A and B are shown apart, each in its own frame.
Chain A
Amino acid sequence: MTANPLDVPPDPAVPLQPRSGQRGTGFLTEPLRLGTTPSATVGPYLAIGLTWPDGAWAAAEGTEGGIWIRGRVVDGAGDLVPDAMIETWQADPDGRFPSPEDPRGAASYPGFRGYARVQTSDPPGEFGVFTLKPGRVPDGEGGLQAPHVDVSVFARGMLDRVVTRVYFADEAAANAEDVVLRGLTEEQRRTLVAERTADGYRFDVHLQGERETVFFAV
């Protein structure tokens, strides 16, 4: 424990330095890159920095056709996690994104933000996001993805976010041809499919255990 943990060789020449690619030739063998900043846990006090009064509203309150995606975050002992944060990102009902990064152009669907951020603190262990059901988005292989919501989960006790997806139980035909779901076992698929409820859908996240949710490396 006396060693200085910083006393390690740094990455080779981090800021842009010509000639750093290959000693002797002056030519670069690959593009120069900066090392990305390592992630860290949000810790137990994330509510100080990451609480938004309008966080739950991926679609504006009262938007026609709005649904609640509600769920719980459960740890490896089966206990509710009361200090997690859920973020969601998804297409609008036309399958377009309110983002200039969409190469088809940024869409502007009335009342739709596409992004929500909520904590599992009220009531403890549960979250709720108000949104519109997404449309289908091209899958890059000539087909369409099933309606889905990308989800990030952050919490004390996780040093990085974990990423999963919500699919919808009443989209069986679309789910059957979805490029992501097709690559999963039936048991894995079940962890991603939200069940219909009175006001929307239910999607529980199991961080560990027999029912561990499928998480994605993105």
Chain B
Amino acid sequence: MYHSNKIIPGLVIFFLAMTFPFWFNIGSEAYSTPELVLPEDHEHCVEAVEFMRAEHMTMLNEWRDAYVRDGYGEYQSMLTGEMYAMSLTKTCMNCHNNKGDFCDRCHDSVSVDPYCWDCHIEPEGVE
């Protein structure tokens, strides 16, 4: 190979740089799911836990458009068939009434900072 004295060290450096995050983190703690405080007096959420875990942000975005732009106020649960008011503060925060013990723990641990709370008012007794 021509210039192998330059190409091979180059490849080695490139490889090390690319894999830096992997070997830098070897031995450090694995991500652990934060412990959340769940509402005590409610058996289930609007939808199944797995669905809420993965989709709550998409769902909230859809609720927002359905409520503000199309004038729909009620959501029928696919889980139970019950009706819920499509409201962040009146439905979600009514059960999860401690933002710090529920929302923030997850959001903080994955470093997301939703701006919902710039306008929507979190339940009293927090902060």
Q: Do A and B bind each other?
A: no
B interface residues with partner A (beta carbon < 8 Å):
none
A interface residues with partner B (beta carbon < 8 Å):
none
